[in-house]
Structure 1
Amino acid sequence: MSGTTTEHLPRVEELQAAVEALAAGRFRADRAPAPAPGEVPAGIARPLETTTWATTREVLPVLAASGSSGATSLAVAVASILAPARVVECCSMSATGLAEAATAELGTDASGWCNGTREQVALSRATRVIAGPDAVPTPVVVEAPGWDVLDVGWQLEQLTATGGWLAQQVQHAPAIVVAATASVPSLRRLENTLAALPASATTVVAVRSLGSKRLPAHVRAALGPRTTTHLDRGTWIDVPHEKDLAERGLSGSPLPRSLLNAAHQISRLIGAGSTTKEGISS
């Protein structure tokens, strides 16, 4: 074509740079560059350099074998029996169950925990999206005697795969509570969780009913050998289904007495009975 020169045509290097920019999402001026492989996006808590947490208080992890097993409500109930105590909710802020649980809000501390209280129980929850269990900020160390109940908020396989202070606490805890529901999928996950727990820990299973006082035959048939052992030796605690709590979630209202009774039984099984309140009459 007459009058055409090559000085205004893009060079090979420029074309390659353009292709790379498109792949990285840098083709719009108002869009931030996509994170490099392995990089955590801005605004999300990153894995911590400090992966240990030293505390002189008693620590009790509460694990959920499956979703919607009531682990957070159970953690608050157990802390209420063990009081003075603190519940540290270790999940991401987007999954919190403590947003309405405090009766008094105390603000956010330097480590990024939003703190509140209800009677003799302190509540700490995350204020950021957390990418994984190894990115959970270390809680502020409380010097006063008492209990730190860890609402773990992650599956056990996630903890063991990533490490961090939370995984260490679960691995070395003298006692662990595992919450589940009386359903076939949840009890199957419970069996897998029990198989992966450290053998040195005293483990208590807390199973929330789904409205029935007895396990249906098809649910009982799903019990694995480890779960059956807990049922036979009395380390299986029945947690009655509370319709209002299940529908509304935790609030500043008093916890149901049935839940507190289950928490009291747990406290006895983990060896804390001499330091806790007497049973809650129904």
Structure 2
Amino acid sequence: MITQTPSRPVGVDELKRAWHALNAGEFRAGPRGRGTAAEDNWSPTGGEHTIAVVGSAGSVGASTVALATGLAAGVPVRVIECCSVTASGLAAASTAELGLHPTDWRQGKRDDVLLERASEVLAGVDEVPLPTEAQNETQLTILDIGWEAGQLLATDCWLAEAVRAADQIVLVTTATVPGMRRAGVAMDLLAGYWQPEQIALAVRGPRRKKWPRGLEHAGGPAVRRALDADRCVEIPEDRELAVNGLDSRPVPAPLISAARQLLEPAHLPTDASESA
């Protein structure tokens, strides 16, 4: 007697995604993001500038910094949140939802910023889907990494290569001793791929002049060099944002103003410079 295993019910959404993938010629073998060599590769277009935002730890405000930087830019911009759907910081940040793209990215809009976030649970960095094609000839793409720097750089995947090739790195941390220590470790890892001037340190917390004594030295030589070279941007705390997280309410103006400084090393126009 042959016993048949009951088949798993297939939802309408899944059938639609399969149909779109079939029409697009997307035939992947193995886990998401691990198909053929051609499918594993991604590179920005000729006029696409990339900034990678890396958090030194979870809940340090990397997604907030990524979104604020996008809102401060004066060029067409998209923010790609590369973490699992279970770790999303942008789930409620859109003011208009655009639905699920055939490539598995859930899209939304926030002012003129396109937001793309994962639609499913991702078990590892190598399962992050490839980005959609840039919609503009001149494009700023902000990669909100969402993975620990050591795990990212040790994984053979398109995202690790994209971060290594990014025009600029923003490392986000908090004005605490643990935050600075983790930032120091991450900066040492990142220094193997970028020149120091390509790495900006975004520190969430009080103004630097109000930091506790010894905090500047807690991150070791790498963090100290960034501070001495004025490659540190102070990200102000916002109590309401800290409680509610990112949602459809306006991002505080002081935060956008601080994030605007992160665009200066790349010589990108900002919303302020464009309106001047």
Common fold: TM-score over 0.5: yes
1:66 equivalent to 2:57? Answer yes
Give, as a single letter, the amino acid of the residue that structure 1 aligns with 2:157. Answer: G
Distance 1:71 1:173 in 2: 16
Give, as a single letter, the amino acid of the residue that structure 2 aligns with 1:76. Answer: L
Q: What pairs with 1:105-254 in structure 2 (closer than 5 Å)? A: 105-144=97-136, 145-197=138-190, 198-200=193-195, 202-209=198-205, 214-254=210-250
Q: CA deviation at 1:193?
A: 0.7
Q: Please give the per-residue CA displacement for 1:227-273, whole angstroms capped at 9, x wherever unaligned.
A: 1111111110111111111110001111111111111111113322x
Q: Residue 241 of structure 1: SS of its match in structure 2?
A: coil
| Residue pair 1:48, 1:136 contacting (<8 A) in 2 also | no
1:78 equivalent to 2:72? Answer no
Q: Residue 147 of structure 1: SS of its match in structure 2?
A: strand
Root-mean-square deviation (Å): 2.2
| Residue pair 2:182, 2:219 contacting (<8 A) in 1 also | no
Distance 1:211 1:250 in 2: 22
Distance 1:260 1:143 in 2: 24
Aligned to 2:44: 55
Q: Residue 241 of structure 2: SS of its match in structure 1?
A: helix
Distance 1:77 1:45 in 2: 32
Q: Residue 170 of structure 1: SS of its match in structure 2?
A: helix
Give, as a single letter, the amino acid of the residue that structure 2 aligns with 1:116. Answer: G
Distance 1:221 1:194 in 2: 14
Q: CA deviation at 1:51?
A: 1.7
Q: Please give the per-residue CA displacement for 1:59-104, whole angstroms capped at 9, x wherever unaligned.
A: 1110001122100010000011124200100000000011110010
| Residue pair 1:45, 1:128 contacting (<8 A) in 2 also | no
Distance 1:45 1:258 in 2: 42
Distance 1:53 1:260 in 2: 29
1:276 equivalent to 2:270? Answer yes
Which moved further from structure 2: 156-165 or 101-110?
156-165
| Residue pair 1:64, 1:155 contacting (<8 A) in 2 also | yes
| Residue pair 2:216, 2:224 contacting (<8 A) in 1 also | no
Which moved further from structure 2: 235-244 or 137-146?
137-146
Q: Please give the per-residue CA displacement for 1:181-209, whole angstroms capped at 9, x wherever unaligned.
A: 01111111101111111134711100001
Give, as a single letter, the amino acid of the residue that structure 1 aligns with 2:92. Answer: E
Runs of 4+ in structure 1 displaced over 3 angstroms?
A: 44-47, 210-213
What is the TM-score when the length of structure 2 is the normalising length? 0.81
Number of residue equivalences: 238
Gaps of 5+ in 2: 9-29
| Residue pair 1:46, 1:131 contacting (<8 A) in 2 also | no
User: Which residue, out of 90, 94, 116, partners 2:82?
Assistant: 90
Give, as a single letter, the amino acid of the residue that structure 2 aligns with 1:257. Answer: A
| Residue pair 1:45, 1:136 contacting (<8 A) in 2 also | no
Gaps of 5+ in 1: 1-28, 33-43
Give, as a single letter, the amino acid of the residue that structure 2 aligns with 1:172. Answer: A
Aligned to 1:21: none
| Residue pair 1:211, 1:241 contacting (<8 A) in 2 also | no
Q: CA deviation at 1:210?
A: 5.5
